[in-house]
Amino acid sequence: MLSDQIPYIISILFLVAFTFPIIMVARLAKKGGVKNGFWLVLSFYIIYLTIVAIASFNGFFDAIMLPPKIVVTTTLPLAIVVTILYNTKVCKKANTLLSLKDLVQIHIFRLIGSTFIILFLYNLLPPVFALFSGIGDILTAATSIFVAKAIQNKKSYAIKLTYIWNTFGLVDILVTSAMAIIFTKISIDTGSQGVEFLAKFPFCFIPAFAPPTIIFLHLLVFRKLSSKKV
């Protein structure tokens, strides 16, 4: 069930840690005044990720292809779902009710990006990809604390700082996603190590959940910044 290429305890700790992003996103929906928002979001991700896990167990994502099968069958569909959601009246209303601080501090969950570095240490991911992605996530998560604090204390530079921070975080996740495609292409062409381990359970949850969800959250911050009610 769990990959024997890495100690089981790391996989188990990852699974435990991964519950926090899901719960935090669900709580954000509740704070935004979405009716039954917490349970709707939680139920959606539980069902969705259960399907992803079953697919991973059955080797559905194992074939090394371009674009990666896990991207085509999980990342892309979720991206379509959140894009539709982003343009709904419910989402726009929730965005007005949520504080800028709420929308920023939720990104603390990106500390889970340290998983990339851990997998690199076990020679399961290319070093350039793992270090860029892991360090980018950790920086975005850590600095979200200071940005949220500046917003809370109504510092004169808070809005400008939020724009800079949010742009950095968004570019980081976009580049990480692009690098995953690039390293898959290199792997196919040269037989070198790619990012195929991210198709294994439970780490398949990263590409299935992270890119669309994180991009969606960053876009909510930009929407909030462009509104008059920051």
* Dist CA 69 CA 67 (whole Å): 6
Q: Could you tell me what percent of the chain has a pLDDT over 70?
A: 98
Whether the bond into 207 is cis, omega within 30 of 0: no
193 pLDDT above the threshold of 80: yes
Contact 181, 130 (CB under 8 A): no
> How much is the pLDDT for 197?
95
Mean pLDDT check: name the lowest of 12-16, 61-65, 141-145.
61-65
Give the CA radius of gyration of the chain.
18
Take residue 57 and report the two structure tokens written for it: 């167990």
The CA distances from residue 196 to 157, 186, 192, 199, in Å, are 42, 12, 11, 6
Full DSSP string of 157-210:
THHHHHHHHHHHHHHHHHHHHHHHHHHHHHHHHH----SGGGGSTTTTHHHHHH
Take residue 151 and report the two structure tokens written for it: 């917003």
Take residue 184 and report the two structure tokens written for it: 């898959």
> How much is the pLDDT for 4?
83
Mean pLDDT for 122-128 is 96
